[in-house]
């Protein structure tokens, strides 16, 4: 009996190096992935700076990106078994790899922000430094917040209404969603989730389905918006129907972008994107409010008085779903950013002339 008890103690109780056998099995079966999930499980829902719960999309993004980071580290030779050992050398290795692969500055900066959030979870707040400390060229993480290029379809010589009519012959549903982007300034997800019969309340339009973090935005409807909305209501039969009601959200978005590719509405195709319809809407609105060209379309500082421009910036920001008026520059540009861009272009042109003369 004593021998049997000893054997049971070894097989079911203590394992190698005196550790419980169940713990050893869990370690070998799940490893770093289980530990990473344990670290994030209780905190993944919490906002990093505010006392609130983040949306499901943000939670999914946090989970997916952190698993991606640790998987990429293993590919780079850093096989971390305990995610709590995550440190600056790992961030440096990831950022150098991303920089070498040519990832966009905004992508790298956003990923560093995600790692900063994770560092706080493992008791290493303040560990993650500024983005430029992790790359070879600081310019690779400099984000251009003010637009220096007109991203609207009109800037590429394409008339949106004509292209939408062309798409309508092939897929009326996608064309209707494109019209929502152009006529209401909706993002693609908002357009897919739009219920045309429910968004109008008197003189105001309210969007909530499909918005970022479910944030409701209400803005005064212009005659153009009302015209677009009336058209969308006519082609949407039921009061509670979505523009993409025949499919799930995932299927509707996939269908939308498949149609975009079919008609060349990509950067590699015609040089335009579906988001360019939203840019068209917001830049056109800014010009209607100020009565002059937006900075990104050649407007100059003296063209519009500051008060009128500030009112236009605020109205465009509200229609775009942002509380900060500075976000308007991401679509309409700013006088300062455009002045720097013109100086850069002039310098490049001058350098080209010098090289031609020397050649």
pLDDT tens by residue, 182-197? 999 999 999 999 999 9
d(CA 186, CA 201): 17
Q: What pLDDT is attached to residue 275?
A: 95
Q: What pLDDT is attached to residue 345?
A: 86
Convert the pLDDT of each residue in 160-169 to its tens digit: 999 999 999 9
Q: Which residues contact 123 (CB under 8 A, 6 or more apart)?
A: 84
Convert the pLDDT of each residue in 298-344 to its tens digit: 999 989 999 999 999 999 998 888 878 888 999 999 998 898 888 88
DSSP assignment of 134-166: GSS-GGGG----S-SS--SSGGGT--HHHHHHH
User: Cβ(95)–Cβ(108) under 8 Å?
Assistant: yes
Convert the pLDDT of each residue in 46-70 to its tens digit: 877 777 787 778 888 999 999 999 9
- pLDDT-flagged residues of the chain (< 70): 1-30, 245-246, 354-359
Phi/psi at 178 (5° precision): -65, -40
pTM for the model stands at: 0.74
Q: Give the number of other Cβ atoms within 10 Å of residue 300's Cβ.
A: 12
Phi/psi at 336 (5° precision): -65, -45
User: Cβ(292)–Cβ(303) under 8 Å?
Assistant: yes
| Six token digits for residue 34 | 């289980």
| Six token digits for residue 266 | 């990509």
Q: What pLDDT is attached to residue 290?
A: 95
d(CA 8, CA 180): 69
Of 114, 131, 105, the C-alpha closest to 54 is 114
């Amino acid at each position: 009996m004593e021998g049997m008890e000893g054997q049971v103690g070894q097989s079911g109780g203590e394992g190698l190096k005196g550790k419980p056998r169940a713990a050893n099995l869990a370690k070998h079966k799940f490893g770093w992935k289980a530990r990473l999930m344990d670290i994030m499980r209780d905190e993944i829902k919490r906002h990093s700076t505010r006392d609130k719960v983040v949306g499901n999309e943000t939670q999914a993004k946090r989970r997916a990106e952190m698993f991606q980071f640790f998987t990429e580290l293993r590919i780079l030779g850093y096989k971390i078994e305990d995610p709590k050992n995550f440190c600056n050398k790992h961030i440096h290795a990831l950022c150098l790899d991303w920089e070498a692969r040519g990832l966009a500055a905004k992508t790298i900066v956003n990923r560093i922000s995600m790692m900063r959030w994770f560092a706080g979870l493992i008791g290493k707040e303040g560990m993650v430094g500024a983005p430029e400390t992790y790359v070879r060229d600081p310019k690779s993480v400099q984000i251009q917040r003010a637009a220096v290029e007109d991203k609207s379809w009109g800037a590429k010589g394409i008339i949106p209404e004509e292209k939408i009519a062309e798409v309508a012959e092939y897929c009326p549903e996608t064309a209707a969603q494109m019209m929502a982007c152009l006529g209401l300034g909706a993002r693609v997800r908002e357009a897919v989730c739009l219920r045309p019969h429910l968004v109008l309340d008197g003189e105001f339009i309210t969007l909530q389905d499909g918005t970022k973090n479910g944030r409701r935005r209400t803005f005064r409807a212009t005659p153009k918006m009302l015209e677009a909305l009336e058209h969308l209501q006519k082609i949407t039969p039921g009061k509670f129907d979505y523009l993409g009601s025949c499919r799930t959200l995932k299927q509707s978005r996939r269908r939308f972008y498949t149609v975009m590719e079919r008609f060349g509405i990509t950067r590699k195709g015609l040089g335009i994107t579906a988001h360019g319809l939203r840019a068209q809407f917001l830049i056109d609105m800014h010009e209607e409010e100020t009565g002059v060209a937006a900075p990104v379309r050649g407007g100059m500082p003296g063209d519009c008085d500051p008060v009128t421009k500030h009112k236009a910036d605020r109205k465009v920001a509200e229609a775009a779903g942002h509380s900060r008026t500075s976000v308007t520059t991401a679509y309409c540009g700013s006088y300062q950013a455009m002045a720097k861009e013109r100086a850069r272009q002039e310098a490049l042109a001058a350098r080209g002339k010098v090289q031609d003369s020397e050649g």
